[in-house]
Structure 1
Amino acid sequence: MRKLWIAALAGLAFAAHAQAPSDYPSRPIRFVLISAAGSGGDALGRLLADKMAPLVKGVFVMDNKPGASGAIATDFVAKAPADGYTIGLGGATTHVLLPASNPKLSYDSVKDFAPIGQVGTASILLIATNDFPANNAKELIALARKSPGSVQYASWGIASTGHFCGELFNLRTQAQMSHIPYKSVVQIQTDMLGGHVKLAYVDMASGSPMVKSGKVKAITACTSRSPSLPDVSSYDDEGIDFAGKRMGALRWALYAPAGTPKPIVAKLSAALKQVVEMPDVKARLLDLGITAAFVGGDELRAMTAADIEGWRQIAKAANISNE
């Protein structure tokens, strides 16, 4: 009988421990963004913060830390106190492609984070100025092959998702385009509208509005056709393939530092799941080029580890290194 009583007390203690502290959050939560203010990633982060705040009964303070293909912001989150008061928005670049191309990266994208959950998946868009001579992937391939190295494309940094998409295009088509790394997508947008760069890979959240407004034209989408721009062909359509279909899932996700109390992570995760499933949020995400698709922390961690190994093969073949 005494053993049963002790077991019951232990169960009650565990249940109490499994719940987030009733006073959390008791102060503002820092929400770190890898993107510059005004970018698509910035808009995504602010949308999530606005919708999650009333659910967790807290306040989020946005902190933009662009640069180094998102590594600056991601490293900051990894090294922040694991108390639930710092979270970060990451993506395929920060948690898969940088680790796949840099064994000396300052953080471990699997071990140094407590995944809160996946927001959704998005393609990367290859855009061009309206006077660029190619209008689609086939015309771009022909143009690039005619004069190897003369066609230049921009991305938001070495080993960024855009860089990987560009080099994959080169590998599969023998296009031999040259890469111009920028610090942020916002800088690319400014230079493109100013006519200083003619061709660039940008996230769908940033590029889709530019295409829809007629400021630029879309050449193709990496890797899959996006419901945001259903008439734009994709790598899949052009036969520019990956070693495994699932590698085409380029995701946005929320993370906390490793060691953040599980009840707090669970509270944030539940709020994120609820937000991602809201009809108005799904519609807004689609405007940003993102297909809503919540995935929980444990599954997200396993997917990330598997994707790193797959993308590492692309990094080796294309000689992409961010050391």
Structure 2
Amino acid sequence: MRKILMAALACLAFSAHAQDYSNYPAHPIRFIIISSAGSGGDVLSRLLISKMAPILKGNMVPYNKPGAGGSIATDMVAKAAPDGYTIGIGGATTHVLLPASNPHLSYDPVKDFEPIGQVGTASILLLATKDFPANNLKELVALAKKSPETLQYASWGNASTGNFCGELLKLARGIKMTHIPYKSVAQIQNDMLGGFVKLGFVDMASGTPLVKSGRLKALASCTSPSPSLPEVPSYEKEGITFSGQHMGALRWALYAPAGTPKPIVAKLSAALKQTVEMPDVKAKLLAWGITPAFVGGDELQKSTIADIAAWKKVAKAANIVSSF
């Protein structure tokens, strides 16, 4: 009789627990954004918030926490209560490149998170000034081999995505280029337009208008093709790998803290999938150089583990060290 009573109580507890999940979200969800207001990550985050909140029948509140390559915001998500009321945006930099270049990172990119899902893949654009003597990667490689001590490229800091793209190109093609770290993409663009630096890596959303207006030219996209500039050859098309290993696409994704109940993660994941598949959202993502491609949490986790291993080899070979 006692066993029957205990089983009944357990069923009641389970039912109450399930009922709690069915009421989720009961109060606003804090959405942690890794970059400042007006940035590409911020604009993307606010689009997702505007679409996901009605699907969830709740409120989502944006919270910008820029700095340290996105690691401050990501660490905040990792250390938040795993109750579904704190989630964050991240991806290639926060969950692959920083872990690949910093063994002392304050969070574990796999163990500390429940991946909600991938939003899409995005590329980094290699730009050149109009008077730069190379018009494509083949010509750039030839130029670098002819004048190995003169070429410089800019990125928005050590261990940034642009820095990794630059070093991958050097390793894959056996060339030399000196890295010039900037504090922001905006500074790179200003100096390129002023002719102070001839080569630079920028995000696709920032670089596409400059290419389409003819103010700068695009030599390549790292690592995958971009929907906003499909004519620009990608690293993938040019066969640029390291040690023959596929590097994995650069991505945007959403994450919750590890331990967040599976029913809540599933609900968030379904809302994200529905959002990414909306025609107007797809159109905006494509315009920003993001290829819409929802991927569920389990598959995203597997890709993250493989990508960290691949990019860690690049970091080691190029001596890319992040202090974040």
| Structures share fold, TM-score greater than 0.5 | yes
| Deviation sequence 1:272-322 (CA, Å, 0-9, x none) | 011011122112111111111111122222221222112212222222121
Change (3 A) 1:277 1:6: farther
Report if the CA contact (8 A) 1:36-1:184 is conserved.
no
- Structure 2 Cα separation of the partners of residues 155 and 60 of structure 1: 33
Q: Which residue of 1 aligns with 2:269?
A: 269
Q: Which residue of 2 aligns with 1:282?
A: 282
Q: Which residue of 1 aligns with 2:82?
A: 82
State which drifts further: 64-73 or 215-224: 64-73
Q: Which residue of 1 aligns with 2:31?
A: 31
| Deviation sequence 1:221-276 (CA, Å, 0-9, x none) | 11222232111112233332244665232111001122223332222111101101
**1:44-63 alignment to 2 at 5 Å?**
44-63=44-63
| Deviation sequence 1:68-103 (CA, Å, 0-9, x none) | 222222122222333323221102111011111111
- Structure 1 Cα separation of the partners of residues 64 and 185 of structure 2: 13
Report if the CA contact (8 A) 1:66-1:184 is conserved.
no
State which drifts further: 312-321 or 35-44: 35-44
Change (3 A) 1:65 1:191: farther
Report if the CA contact (8 A) 1:53-1:60 is conserved.
yes
Q: Which residue of 2 aligns with 1:250?
A: 250
Whether 2:306 is the aligned partner of 1:306: answer yes
Paired amino acid for 1:234? S
- Structure 2 Cα separation of the partners of residues 83 and 186 of structure 1: 37
Paired amino acid for 2:60? F
Q: What is the count of residue pairs matched by the alignment? A: 323
Whether 2:236 is the aligned partner of 1:222: answer no
Question: When the two structures are superposed, what TM-score results if normalisation uses the length of structure 2?
Answer: 0.88
- Matched-pair identity in %: 73
Structure 2 SS opposite 1:248: coil
- Structure 2 Cα separation of the partners of residues 69 and 223 of structure 1: 19
- Structure 2 Cα separation of the partners of residues 224 and 253 of structure 1: 17
Change (3 A) 1:18 1:118: farther
**Aligned-pair CA distance for 1:12:** 6.7
- Structure 2 Cα separation of the partners of residues 308 and 244 of structure 1: 15
Change (3 A) 1:213 1:9: farther
- Structure 2 Cα separation of the partners of residues 244 and 7 of structure 1: 56
Report if the CA contact (8 A) 2:121-2:290 is conserved.
yes
Change (3 A) 1:61 1:183: farther
**Aligned-pair CA distance for 1:38:** 2.7
Report if the CA contact (8 A) 1:39-1:186 is conserved.
no
Structure 2 SS opposite 1:202: strand
State which drifts further: 149-158 or 292-301: 149-158
- Structure 2 Cα separation of the partners of residues 313 and 82 of structure 1: 33
Report if the CA contact (8 A) 1:243-1:310 is conserved.
no
Instruction: Identify unmatched segments of 5+ residues in structure 1.
Output: none
- Structure 1 Cα separation of the partners of residues 173 and 275 of structure 2: 40
**1:151-162 alignment to 2 at 5 Å?**
151-162=151-162
Change (3 A) 1:2 1:101: same
Q: Which residue of 2 aligns with 1:181?
A: 181
Whether 2:316 is the aligned partner of 1:321: answer no
Instruction: Identify unmatched segments of 5+ residues in structure 2.
Output: none
Q: Which residue of 1 aligns with 2:125?
A: 125
State which drifts further: 90-99 or 291-300: 291-300
Paired amino acid for 1:151? L
Question: When the two structures are superposed, what TM-score results if normalisation uses the length of structure 1?
Answer: 0.89
Paired amino acid for 2:201? Y
| Deviation sequence 1:2-54 (CA, Å, 0-9, x none) | 97897687567546534664553344332222233333222211211111121
Aligned-residue RMSD, C-alpha: 2.6
Report if the CA contact (8 A) 1:170-1:177 is conserved.
yes
Paired amino acid for 1:227? P
- Structure 2 Cα separation of the partners of residues 53 and 298 of structure 1: 23
State which drifts further: 309-318 or 24-33: 24-33
State which drifts further: 8-17 or 310-319: 8-17
Report if the CA contact (8 A) 1:66-1:183 is conserved.
no
Report if the CA contact (8 A) 1:68-1:157 is conserved.
no
Paired amino acid for 2:284? R
